[in-house]
Amino acid sequence: EDQVTQSPEALRLQEGESSSLNCSYTVSGLRGLFWYRQDPGKGPEFLFTLYSAGEEKEKERLKATLTKKESFLHITAPKPEDSATYLCAVGDGGATNKLIFGTGTLLAVQP
């Protein structure tokens, strides 16, 4: 069964304290690993797509990496405005390439 597991469930950081979020997955036909940011009561905001092991993408303080079994979202010198839930999803490779989501990591960055 296709599955996505994110850890930790919640993370509290001080402003400037770098850390990483983990997303491990099992899927029969991976077609993309996706990272989204979600603010309370809002829809997910697209951040990155990774397609093959070894691929890396960066955006401001965020960097996403991918291996054959997991992805990491590295947050460098976070600011309070980075506080949000970060969702990881995989495309199942089927006709719809539906996204299978993890339950997310709730990040709180304190000033």
107 binds another protein (CB under 8 A): no
Which is nearer to another protein, 41 or 111 (by Cβ)?
A: 41
Query: Is residue 6 helix, strand or coil?
Result: strand
Per-residue CA distances from 25 to 61, 73, 93, 95 (Å): 24, 14, 13, 20
Binders of another protein in range 19-58 (CB under 8 A): 31-32, 34, 36, 41-46, 49, 51
Supply angle C-alpha 29, 31, 37, rounded to 5. Answer: 125
* Residue 35 amino acid letter: W
99 binds another protein (CB under 8 A): yes
* DSSP track, 58-69: EETTEEEEE-SS
Which is nearer to another protein, 45 or 60 (by Cβ)?
A: 45
102 binds another protein (CB under 8 A): yes
Query: Is residue 91 helix, strand or coil?
Result: strand
The least distance separating another protein from the CB of residue 77, rounded to whole angstroms, comes to 27
In the complex, the residues that contact another protein under the rule CB under 8 A are: 4, 31-32, 34, 36, 41-46, 49, 51, 87, 89, 91, 94-104
